[in-house]
Amino acid sequence: MEPIMDIKPIGTPYSKQIILGLIVTLSACTTVNFKEPITSYSSAMSESSSVFNDYYAQQNELARRSYFTQLKYHRERYIQVRDESGRHSSLYFKYSPEGIKARRDALSLISEYGNRLAVMAGADSPQRISDSSGNILSSYRGLSEAFGRLTGDEAKYKVSYAEGTEKLTSALTKMYAEHIQNEALMAAIKDGHAAVELILLTLQSDLKDLSATNQARFHTQLSDLVSIYNGDVDARKNGQDKPVKGSLGQNSQVASQTLAEPQRLELLNQTQTSAGLYEGSVMNRPDDVVAAMLQANNDLYAYAINPKGDNALIALNSSLETFNARIKPFVDYYSANKNRS
């Protein structure tokens, strides 16, 4: 998949009538009907940020467990930090610690955007929104530069990440520069929507690549363990003590004799675990969760522009329900497999 280099912020120019209509709608300290959808949106984005933070952290451990499982059954292999082409071996995850941190910070920025909207919508007067609240953004102002420093495979989408995070930081900063509550909230939703969408579209493409990598890794390990186990079965049936070959390399030797019973049972358990990891990686794709986040972001924007429009609130509530339906199995799967190899 090609890098997303030409994504443009989505949104049409505001007419004076739409702007005035939105200001009137958000007047009187913002209505409860507007506050509650924003609060729900904020909760969804915060939950997503937390989930993906755990997801990224877990991938390093799963990659290492998979790598050492291969070494366990292929005694002729060395531990390699880099492969023959000079790239990091499976001992390391696809992304560097710096790359993971940048992505996690981008998600946290979206979460903070939702939180700030909720605070702004619920404040009973502009004076209660402290100017010092803008200081929470200080840790995000160098995020675009952090993406710019990435190299290699993990830098594939860095331009779009950097652009989106820079625009969202700008939208949040502007929110606190404005001292008129309703206008600040309106501008934050208008500018923030396009920035959040850019980050999420980039994240979605990024995670599609990562999901494909995970599926390939678990499928390869499953095929290899099946080949080793079946080879051992054939050797025992034939009464032969011979090397057992795996699918991951030529002359992959498990042992000079057939596996002892404890080894056979352990290999069987490893194969069962790998089958579950492979199935889960196909069924619970992280980019599907991002698709639900995108829909919620779009529906919040549509509701903000015309909160009295036909089905505007229904559509927003529906997209948030869809988000919950998609994120729960994703969380359950990765939570259940934290300690599996």
CB 168 within 8 A of CB 144: no
Q: Output the six-digit token pair for 46.
A: 């915060």
- Which residue type sits at 228? I
**Measured CA angle at 304 (ends 301, 306), to 5 deg:** 110
Question: pLDDT band for position 247 (50/70/90)?
Answer: very low
Question: pLDDT band for position 146 (50/70/90)?
Answer: very high
- Residue 89 reports pLDDT greater than 80: no
Rounded Cα–Cα distance for residues 258 and 231 (Å): 9
Residue 203 has a pLDDT of 92
Residues 168-220 pLDDT 10s = 888 887 776 655 566 777 777 888 899 999 999 999 999 888 888 888 888 98
Q: Average pLDDT over the chain, rounded to whole? A: 75
Phi then psi dihedrals of residue 82, to 5 deg:
-130, 150
* Partners of 88 in the β-ladder: 82
Residue 134 has a pLDDT of 53
Run of H or E residues at 239: none
Residue 305 has a pLDDT of 79
Highest mean pLDDT among 59-73, 173-187, 260-274: 260-274
Residue 176 has a pLDDT of 64
Contacts of 300 (CB under 8 A, 6+ apart): 37, 38, 41, 189, 193, 316
Q: How far is CA 224 from CA 101, 122, 233, 272, 326, in A?
A: 33, 56, 14, 12, 31
When pLDDT is averaged across residues 269-279 and rounded to a whole number, the result is 88
Residue 202 has a pLDDT of 94
Domain ranges of the chain: 38-336
Which is more confidently placed, 125 or 154?
154
Residues 285-325 pLDDT 10s = 888 889 988 988 898 888 877 777 778 888 888 888 888 88
Residue 311 has a pLDDT of 81
- Residue 130 reports pLDDT greater than 60: no
- Residue 61 reports pLDDT greater than 80: no
Instruction: For residue 70, give the nearest of 305, 248, 207 by alpha carbon.
Output: 248
Percent of the chain with pLDDT over 70: 72
Which is more confidently placed, 209 or 94?
209
pTM > 0.85? no
- Which residue type sits at 284? N
Highest mean pLDDT among 13-27, 131-145, 246-260: 131-145
Which is more confidently placed, 6 or 295?
295
